Amino acid sequence: MALDRNATVAVLGAGTMGSGIAQVAATAGHQVLLADTFAGAVERARAAHEKAFAREVEKGRLDAASAAATLGRIRYLTPGPGDFLELASAQLVVEAIVEDLEVKKATFKRLEHALEPTAVLATNTSSLSVTAIGAACDRAERVVGIHFFNPAPVLPLVEIVPGVATAPEVTAAARALIDAWGKTTVVASDTPGFIVNRIARPFYSEALRIFEEGIADKATIDWAIRDAGGFKMGPFELMDLIGNDINYAVSLSVFEAFGYDPRYRPFLTQKKLVEAGLLGRKTGRGHFDYRAGAVNPEPVRSNDLAVEIFPRVLAVLVNAAVDALFWRVATRDDIDLAMTKGVNYPKGLLRWADDIGPGQILERLDQLHAEYGEDRYRASPLLRRVVREGRTFY
Ligand SMILES: NC(=O)c1ccc[n+]([C@@H]2O[C@H](COP(=O)([O-])OP(=O)(O)OC[C@H]3O[C@@H](n4cnc5c(N)ncnc54)[C@H](O)[C@@H]3O)[C@@H](O)[C@H]2O)c1
């Protein structure tokens, strides 16, 4: 299957993700068709691309002629809803439209009829089932998940997600192409949240839990995770950056997709912020206040608190990573790679478990489980097995 640099790549949806993906594909040398039913979105994407390439030239990372040539490879289109005639020459379509299963299914159904039978149809969905989207098509074997992270031109990780019916050669071709774009790919099974959005849930939720219990305030929890844990950002400042509405929606969708397993239950603090419109940096306020002149609380820099907070968050995170391995969501190496390249964790969680000792993580989880009696702290059977057998993950 020819998915090389000569392939025309169509990107459907010119919002945050589509615009970034189009930029990455054009930079890799492809002719790109960027289409959105909303003309305003296409114009915004064009302006964002012009600015991004001008910055590359300014910083000396690209010469003006190459920047112009790259921009020249992107065609901006505003087709009517479901009108994909202009995308007919694409060998790969990456869909990045609204996160709505029915809309995506209707779109894929029409897309496959507009394209060559050999074209690959990819979805950038964060939380929907790739299998369900593919099932809308006659050729479900050509549908695959290609999940970029935001901002797509900056973050190296891409999760490749085959659905139940996806042909292995389609998965392999998608992976090879995205590798050729200079990205780091991992393969994830088509399960809720794939790798990163599944395993990263407790980074936010355990912090919310510690806050709701009154153990520490938000600034202190962020400080402990940055300082004791070596994370670049604390969970509260990161939620404010991502947007509390988006983060809360992902929490809800993962919770629902896991059949309301209490392990994934979202927290009221986040729901309240969303109800109040305090969405984070984009609205000027969230967990913290970003308005001019605002004064935010200083963390309580206490060693006792750091020792109470960080190992607890890490134990729950490691448990999520081990459980993903247990359920064969991805390989050990891909799980660790995904968290370091997709969300900048200082270390892969399985490697981290080995460094600390899986027994210590299990002990901490069992303590929390005994104290609260909640499924949230239920240790993965694999963690228990590894400890029982005196093994490590690597
Ligand atoms: N934002 C993120 O952090 C992120 C990260 C990874 C994946 N995703 C996924 O990427 C997809 C897009 O997310 P986004 O944040 O870029 O959304 P967005 O709202 O910024 O952009 C979506 C764009 O799709 C267009 N659109 C909607 N319906 C359309 C249709 N039927 N045909 C053509 N265009 C249509 C809209 O006009 C809009 O410009 C979603 O599936 C989302 O889950 C988002």
Is 71:64 a contact under the CB 8 Å cutoff?
Answer: no
Whether residue 219 sits in one domain with residue 161: no
Residue 192 lies in a domain: no
Q: pLDDT-derived band of residue 82, with 50, 70 and 90 as boundaries?
A: confident
Whether residue 203 sits in one domain with residue 178: no
Whether residue 92 sits in one domain with residue 33: yes
- Strands 120-123 and 92-95, by their bridges, are parallel
Rounded to an integer, the average pLDDT of 175-192 is: 97
Q: Please tell me the residue having the least CA distance from ligand 1 atom 9.
A: 125
3-state secondary structure the chain: CCCCCCCEEEEECCCHHHHHHHHHHHHCCCEEEEECCCHHHHHHHHHHHHHHHHHHHHCCCCCHHHHHHHHHCEEEECCCCCCCHHHCCCCEEEECCCCCHHHHHHHHHHHHHHCCCCCEEEECCCCCCHHHHHCCCCCHHHEEEEEECCCCCCCCEEEEEECCCCCHHHHHHHHHHHHHCCCEEEECCCCCCCCHHHHCHHHHHHHHHHHHCCCCCHHHHHHHHHHCCCCCCCHHHHHHHHCHHHHHHHHHHHHHHCCCCHHHCCCHHHHHHHHCCCCEHHHCECCCECCCCCCCCCCCCCHHHHHHHHHHHHHHHHHHHHHHHHCCCCCHHHHHHHHHHHCCCCCCHHHHHHHHCHHHHHHHHHHHHHHHCCHHHCCCHHHHHHHHCCCCCC
Question: Which of 84, 110, 126 to probe ligand 1 with, by most ligand atoms within 8 A of CB?
Answer: 126
**The domain boundary residue, chosen from 187, 220, 245:** 187
Residue 366 lies in a domain: yes
Is 5:70 a contact under the CB 8 Å cutoff?
Answer: no
The pLDDT of residue 1: 54
The number of folded domains in the chain is: 2
Ligand 1 site, residue 16, Cβ cutoff 6 A: yes
pLDDT digits over 91-119, tens only? Answer: 999 999 998 999 999 999 999 999 999 99
Task: State in Å: Cα 366 to ligand 1 middle.
Answer: 41
In percent, how much of the chain has pLDDT > 70? 99
**The domain boundary residue, chosen from 139, 168, 187:** 187
Cis peptide, bond prior to residue 151, ω within 30 of zero: yes
Whether residue 241 sits in one domain with residue 179: no
Q: Domain residues for 84?
A: 8-187
Q: Roughly what angle, to the nearest 10 degrees, separates helices 358-372 and 349-356?
A: 100
Report d(CA 72, CA 67) in Å as an integer: 8
Task: State in Å: Cα 48 to ligand 1 middle.
Answer: 16
Task: State in Å: Cα 293 to ligand 1 middle.
Answer: 34
Closest CA to 18 of 90, 74, 82: 74
Whether residue 208 sits in one domain with residue 182: no
**The domain boundary residue, chosen from 154, 187, 220:** 187
Rounded to an integer, the average pLDDT of 3-13 is: 95
Q: How many other C-beta atoms are found inside a 10 Å radius of the C-beta of residue 381?
A: 11
Q: Roughly what angle, to the nearest 10 degrees, separates helices 303-326 and 332-342?
A: 130
Q: pLDDT-derived band of residue 2, with 50, 70 and 90 as boundaries?
A: low
Report d(CA 177, CA 148) in Å as an integer: 13
Whether residue 346 sits in one domain with residue 315: yes
Whether residue 218 sits in one domain with residue 161: no
Residue 181 lies in a domain: yes
Give the residue numbers annotated as catalytic, written as ranges: 126, 147, 159, 197
Ligand 1 site, residue 380, Cβ cutoff 6 A: no
Ligand 1 site, residue 99, Cβ cutoff 6 A: yes
Is 267:201 a contact under the CB 8 Å cutoff?
Answer: no
Residue 127 has pLDDT above 60, yes or no: yes
Ligand 1 site, residue 161, Cβ cutoff 6 A: no
Whether residue 361 sits in one domain with residue 335: yes
Q: Mean pLDDT over all residues of the chain? A: 96
Whether residue 174 sits in one domain with residue 240: no
Rounded to an integer, the average pLDDT of 310-328 is: 98
Q: Please tell me the residue having the least CA distance from ligand 1 atom 6.
A: 149
Q: Could you identify the atom of ligand 1 that is nearest to the CA of residue 104? A: 31
Ligand 1 site, residue 66, Cβ cutoff 6 A: no
Residue 124 lies in a domain: yes
Rounded to an integer, the average pLDDT of 314-332 is: 98
Report d(CA 132, CA 192) in Å as an integer: 12
Range scoring the smallest mean pLDDT among 5-19, 194-208, 248-262 = 248-262
Residue 2 lies in a domain: no
Q: pLDDT-derived band of residue 23, with 50, 70 and 90 as boundaries?
A: very high
Question: Which of 107, 124, 128, 250 to probe ligand 1 with, by most ligand atoms within 8 A of CB?
Answer: 124
Residue 71 lies in a domain: yes
Task: State in Å: Cα 98 to ligand 1 middle.
Answer: 4
Residue 193 lies in a domain: no
Q: Give the domain CATH number at 358.
A: 1.10.1040.50
- The more confident residue out of 119 and 83 is 119
Q: Roughly what angle, to the nearest 10 degrees, separates helices 201-212 and 303-326?
A: 140
Residue 61 has pLDDT above 60, yes or no: yes
Rounded to an integer, the average pLDDT of 226-234 is: 95
Whether residue 109 sits in one domain with residue 43: yes
Q: Please tell me the residue having the least CA distance from ligand 1 atom 8.
A: 126
Task: State in Å: Cα 306 to ligand 1 middle.
Answer: 38
Whether residue 221 sits in one domain with residue 121: no
Rounded to an integer, the average pLDDT of 214-242 is: 96
Residue 216 lies in a domain: yes
pLDDT digits over 247-260, tens only? Answer: 999 899 899 999 99
Q: Give the domain CATH number at 78.
A: 3.40.50.720
Rounded to an integer, the average pLDDT of 188-193 is: 96
Whether residue 229 sits in one domain with residue 146: no
The pLDDT of residue 18: 98
CA distances in angstroms from 23 to 16, 48, 138, 179, 259, listed in the order given: 11, 9, 30, 16, 37
